[in-house]
A and B are shown apart, each in its own frame.
Chain A
């Protein structure tokens, strides 16, 4: 059984403008840039862990993937959230920690890393646009 990669090939955007628009309404437009900056820092932190000190066991991977799934969904990174959820589910189904050493899982993590990099870039662009023109927040998905 392979990790469902359909989420990465889906038409889901890196940044869902509808979600961010709702966040801006709920928190106030003036706060959105600060919140996005915190979210980007969080994604970078998680990317650092994946690249430099990846978890060794299936359980530790779940503990990394679980908050990433929720946080990315909350901030509109829907594609990242879906893929992280698929990876987390796969980890839950594997009782054997050897799975983390499998090619399949390593490929899955590599895909996650690439997706994280893309998402971080997209959010940085979004944030930059927002800071340049706070009045007209970005209305389009990225």
Chain B
């Protein structure tokens, strides 16, 4: 409370004596500035007439330096213009003198509630707007959703099926689910189905006994046994042979398996996490992946978005890698130039985070600098854009005017009109989208429409 009249200060203190506030009183502007700096109070009750400075100066000072602090201005009765000015400068509320006990208490109670709400929002923000999560980096909405799915899936024993392009972090996702589960004290065993020859795969999963096949010199546990009590991560699952898929299905259904060359049934308690960079349903449709196995494993789906769909994370991830790689390679990179950032954002990253990491590693090794410039980034934007253009062209193919298929020659104006009308229809009347597909400026489309209207070609 900043109040120079002791009789008033004493009265307000008496009003609040039974309330749960820790009230401190200063009687000059200078003392107020000093106190605010040292204590950073939640609320300031501020009298505007002070002997050494105007309360407005204190209000401005607080707004500039302590934005979390709420200021309640105490003004003389009838000083409406002063109150308005104070609110304009950022005061939370104002009290007109003489101030009643009830009014003072209600005002403080309301502000306290606001503070509690702010705190709650801040906590939610911390919880739901996470920049990093179990090794993932990125605060985009797409990743917030992934983090929540991982958190929900982790405590369950149900099988998780991770999909996503190469380099999106499928293995990291499996690790996160394992680490957040009650099985984290037990092993997470990863089996890359694409990296192991099909003839060795059964032995890799189920193990073998001595003499089971040429080269089986001793008994060996497979991934299933090693993962007992923990998690078995089957990476690139869609690459697995159909014959082995049926054995895997049986193991998943019963929990029992046999080592290669052994008749004894063994039982383990394993949680399954599978991953693929393919579209599993398409693999099922084309007969390369068993439908029953798909439905066994595809209980809790997690889709990892490609980097191009989380462009707001690109800079965050780049800065993280640049710092880590710079430290690893004993270089002194501190950040990215504006042009370099623009280039990073412009690129489509077909290889996703792995490609981004490799690109940065390459430049950190090659260059000695503090700032990454655009030309240091070995990214062919033109090729990248060409790929994007090809995708756009394929979309345009779908709306190619039928006149191209006909042999009759029509005026160019009509060809153009039909093309534009077709694009607008395709984009459900959205002229900006239509212009983007036509690769022209929206103003061009608007101008054309206006001109046809004037010529009476359209209504």
Chain A interface residues toward B at CB < 8 A: 22-23, 26-28, 31, 34-35, 38-39, 41-42, 63, 66-67, 69-71, 73-75
Q: Are A27 and B101 in contact (CB-based, < 8 A)?
A: yes
9-residue interface stretch from B4-12, B256-264, B312-320: B4-12
Interface centre among B7, B77, B99 (most CB of A within 10 A): B7
Residue in chain A with minimal CB distance to B79: A66
A74's partner among B17, B49, B99, B102 (CB-CB below 8 A) is B99
| Cβ–Cβ < 8 Å partners of B8 in chain A | 67, 70-71, 74
Q: Report whether A27 and B5 are in contact in the complex, using a CB–CB cutoff of 8 Å.
A: no
**Closest CB-CB distance, B99 to chain A, in whole Å?**
7
How far apart sit A23 and B10, CA to CA, in the bound complex (Å)?
12
Q: B17 contacts which chain A residues (CB < 8 A)?
A: 27-28, 31
A28 to B8, CA, bound (A): 16
Q: Is the CB of B14 within 8 A of A75?
A: no
- Docked-complex contact B6 and A74, CB < 8 angstroms: no
The 4 nearest A-B residue pairs measured at CB? A26-B101, A27-B14, A74-B98, A70-B97
Contact between A71 and B7, CB atoms less than 8 A apart:
yes
A75-B51 Cα distance, complex, nearest whole Å: 22
Interface digits, B58-99 against A, CB 8 Å rule (1 contact, 0 not)? 000000000000000000110000000000000000000111
Q: How far is the CB of A46 from chain B (nearest CB, A)?
A: 10
Compute how far the CA of A70 lies from the CA of B47 in the bound complex, rounded to whole angstroms. Answer: 11
> Counting CB contacts under 8 A, is B339 at the interface?
no
Kindly state the separation between the CA atoms of A41 and B7 in the bound complex, as whole angstroms: 8
In the complex with contacts A42-B5, A67-B49, A23-B11 CB distance below 8 A: yes
23 cross-chain CB contacts under 8 A: A27-B11, A27-B14, A27-B15, A27-B17, A31-B14, A34-B10, A35-B14, A38-B7, A38-B10, A41-B6, A41-B7, A42-B5, A42-B6, A63-B49, A66-B76, A67-B49, A70-B5, A70-B76, A70-B97, A71-B5, A71-B8, A74-B7, A75-B7
Most chain B CB within 10 A, of A66, A67, A73, is at A67
Task: Determine if B77 and A73 form an interchain contact, defined as CB atoms under 8 angstroms apart.
Answer: yes
Q: A35, A42, A73: which contacts B98 (Cβ < 8 A)? A: A73
Query: How far is it, in angstroms, between the C-alpha of A41 and the C-alpha of B14 when the chains are bound?
Result: 17
Contact between chains at A42 and B7 (CB < 8 Å):
yes
Residues 11-40 (chain B) with a chain A CB within 8 angstroms: 11, 14-15, 17
Residues in B with CB closer than 8 Å to A42 are 5-7
How many Å lie between the Cα of A23 and that of B8 in the bound state? Answer: 12
**Measured CA separation A2–B73 after assembly (Å):** 32
Give the docked Cα–Cα distance between A124 and B100 (Å). 24
